[in-house]
Structures are given as C-alpha cells and as structure tokens.
A and B are shown apart, each in its own frame.
Chain A
Amino acid sequence: MEQTVPLHLRGLPDPDVLRAAGIDVRTRIIERYICRQLEPYLHVPPAHRISTDRSLRSQGVDSITALALRRRLVTALGVDVPAADLLRDDSVTEVAALLAGLVTPAQDVPAARPAPAVPGAAPVSVPAARTAPAAETGHDTPAERPRLTAVARAVR
C-alpha cells in the first residue's frame, strides 16, 4: 500500500518512525533529505530543483560536497556509504534506495577494515585516534557492491 510523506517535511522523522516505514516511503524521505542538504552547496535557484532521476555528479557534486553529504547521512541516518559511491552514476533515487535498504532496526555496523593494499601506495597505518566512524569502508568491496546496487535498483 502506498504511504504518503508530508510535503512540509523539513527534516527526518524520528529514527524509529523512519525504520518502521515501508521501503518506498523511506526512500522518498531520504531522497528529499539529500536534495535539501545539497541545495545550499550547489546554489540551486529557488525556481529549480535537484533532479532525483540524475546522478549527483552530473548535478555538480564534487568530492568535498560528497564527503560532506556522507557525513550528514551518517549523522542523520546512522548508516554509511563510501563517498566514492555517492559519485557514481546512480541517480539520487537509487542512492536513497540504497540508504533506505540499510536503515533497519537490527543494523549491524560493519567493523572497520584497513585500506586496500595499492601498488605504489604507502603502507597503511590506520590511526588509533581517528574521530570519524570507521564504517565508510564497510560496504566498499567488489563483492558487496552489486548487492547494494541491486537493493537500490529494486525499489526504483
């Protein structure tokens, strides 16, 4: 059954309410949240809107904006995707669906893992005093990406 989202919604609902909502509603709420967060960064004129059918990169999101958005999503939703995934060709709706699929009551935050070994890169020593949540790499493996993309696209 189609559920409605209040048009006056300015922020995200209570986390429990969000988690209790159906996947379609969750996707639409997160979709709007992403658009609202990006409008000041992208200097979107009042008469225009960020398109939910197009990718973030195609609408002017650069690496710093993606990283800032990722931080806001971590804080607001408690879920994480790598900033690199926000800059792929997925539409805003697909990104929102991906996040909506990760917002679950029994969410297990993946443990941090070191950066992958890269030829020519300096050895990685992940600092102990890192202040950021270390889950941003948790979903960034080739084996996991197709599953996440499938989640995102199934809802579209």
Chain B
Amino acid sequence: MSGAVERTGAATAPALTLAPGDLHIWVLPRPWTHTDPAPLPVGELDDGERDRAAGLTRTGDRVRYLSAHVALRRLLSAYTGIEPQALRLGRDRCPCCGGPHGRPVLLGRGRETAQDWPQFSLSHSHQVAVVALAGATVGVDVQRVPPANAVRLCLPDLHPAEQAELAAVPGRRRPAAFARLWTRKEAYLKGLGTGLRRDLAADYLGTGAPGPARRGTPHRPAGWSVTDVPGPPGHATAAAVRTPHHYRTVVRTLTADCLHAEDATELIADSRARVHRVPQTAARRSQK
C-alpha cells in the first residue's frame, strides 16, 4: 500500500481480513436502468466522486458509478475498520509519465506506510460492478461482451499470438472469447497503473499453455497471476495480482442491501463465499 489511511473516522477492528495469497473479488450485479433506484448514501463519497458522477450524461451510467463507489467504500471499510466517508481515495503516479492518474490508492495524511491495508481495484460495465482486494498490487476488469464489429476493429491491436488464438475461435463465440482476453489484459494494465497508455501488443494474456505441445506460445507476464473470474452472463471478468504466492480466489456477491443498509459491515461480512483455488502449476507458470 502506497499510503496509510487517515484515521479520522471511528476505526474499529476490520470485519474481514485477507490471508496471504488471497484475492477477494466482490461482484455487484444490478439491473441499472434509466431510472434512479432507491436513494444511495452518496454522502459517503467525496466531492470528486460526486462531481464525476454528475458529469455522466446517461442516468444508468451515473447510478452505476455511484453504486460502484458506495460499494467500494463500504468494502474498504469492512477490510480496514475505517468508516466509508473517512477513507481518502486518490491516484498513484502513472508509471509511464509520472502524472497523477495511476492506480487508485488509499491516501494518508502523513507519509507513514501501512503495509497491512489491502490494495484494491474497481471496474464496472453495463450491469455489473466488481471490486478486487488483495495484499499485493491488483487490477480487475469487467466487460460486457462487445458486438462482433467492435471485436473486429480491436483485434489488430492485440499481441499476434492473442490474435491467432481468437482467429481460431468460431465467429459466433469470438466476442465472448475476446471479452475474456480483454479483461485479462485490462486487469493487468490496471494493475501496472498504465491503463491503455501501454502498447496492447506488448504483453501476452492469452490462454495457450507454453510447452512442447505449443512450441512458440509466449508466456504471460512474469510475476503476475492473472485469473478469469466467474460472473454474470453476458460479461467477462478477470483479475491480475502482482504476487508469486496467489493461492486462492474468493468470489462473493454483494447484495443490494449492502448498498442501502445504514451499517452494511455485518451484511458484507456474512456474505457467502465461493472459493476457487489457483493450481500451483498455473501460479508457477505465471512467474516465469
């Protein structure tokens, strides 16, 4: 964690903790529409988040953004014991240019470090918002399966081996395969903090297994564990963790009650988990 959390809120013992090697994924599936749902506790957000939401043209986009950020703060609260509105969110430096648009981070008032706080990443698309938390640098991405035309236009920007893999997929299934690959790539780029500023062809995030049977298949980025995450139909989700010790992925669904309850910490802590263990061979392969 690049900064410590400002402890001006009523700090309590965290309701949730991350074991070493854990990746926690929270999925918020909601039918965000063109009408406002029940009022959201937007008082928990900061001015920047409210301004950003107000600038969104479409009501559905605005409600999804607000819901995702309320969810993010409430989850971070459950993992830190700090009240949602007392958390200060900011941006790390961009590793490409040094500008203030790198990975989102928890900001502290001082320069003290707090290694025990979780790292996090947020993504939302169409009818899903996803929050990832880990003890190491993490990126997450969710993407609605795009139309075939958009896939065709985006394909030339990918790594040649990724292009070849997708070309081998029958046309009807190609958009879904592209969405899975794209979320792996964007999760990795978000983890790096570069986003789309990094050349999309520079890294291989395909599914080909290196080895004698697939001679020439490139390796995924070294030192990163990149995982497909099960989620709602019509969307793809993936997460990337910068760690050589990623043992398991815990996926939970965040219910609408967790957005609207006055104190959602207990609801969040009681959410049922689906656990996916990462095969050690896969973890080792990602380190090469």
The interface of chain A, by Cβ under 8 A from chain B, is 41, 51, 54-55, 58-60, 62-68, 71-72, 82-84, 87, 114-116, 118-122, 124-127, 129-132, 136-137, 140-142, 145
Chain B residue at minimal CB-CB distance from A65: B150
Contact A124 B163, CB 8 Å, known A63-B186, A68-B153, A118-B96: no
Contact A58 B55, CB 8 Å, known A68-B153, A127-B160: yes
Are B159's CB and A127's CB within 8 A? Answer: yes
Chain A, interface SS category: loop
Are A118's CB and B198's CB within 8 A? Answer: yes
Contact A114 B150, CB 8 Å, known A58-B55, A60-B57: no
Say which one of B15-23, B105-113, B189-197 lies at the interface with A.
B189-197
Q: How large is the interface on B (under 10, 10 to 19, 20 to 34, 35 or more residues)?
A: 35 or more
The one of A55, A66, A120 that contacts B223, using a Cβ cutoff of 8 Å: A120
User: Chain A nearest CB: distance from B97 CB in Å?
Assistant: 4
The one of A41, A51, A121 that contacts B198, using a Cβ cutoff of 8 Å: A121
Are B156's CB and A84's CB within 8 A? Answer: no
| Residues in chain A near residue B147, CB distance under 8 A | 41
Contact A68 B197, CB 8 Å, known A118-B95, A118-B192: no
The interface of chain B, by Cβ under 8 A from chain A, is 55-58, 61, 95-99, 125, 137, 143, 146-147, 149-150, 153-154, 156-157, 159-161, 163, 182, 186, 192-203, 221-224, 242
Docked CA distance A51–B58 (Å): 12
| Residues in chain B near residue A121, CB distance under 8 A | 95, 192, 194, 198, 203, 221
Docked CA distance A123–B147 (Å): 32
| Residues in chain A near residue B99, CB distance under 8 A | 142
Are B196's CB and A142's CB within 8 A? Answer: no
| Residues in chain B near residue A118, CB distance under 8 A | 95-96, 192-194, 198
**Pairs of residues from A and B, 7 with the lowest C-beta to C-beta distance, nearest first:** A122-B221, A132-B156, A115-B199, A68-B153, A84-B196, A71-B153, A142-B97
The one of B137, B201, B224 that contacts A132, using a Cβ cutoff of 8 Å: B201
Docked CA distance A121–B200 (Å): 13
Contact A126 B201, CB 8 Å, known A60-B57, A120-B192: yes
Contact A126 B199, CB 8 Å, known A121-B221, A141-B97: yes
Chain A residue at minimal CB-CB distance from B147: A41
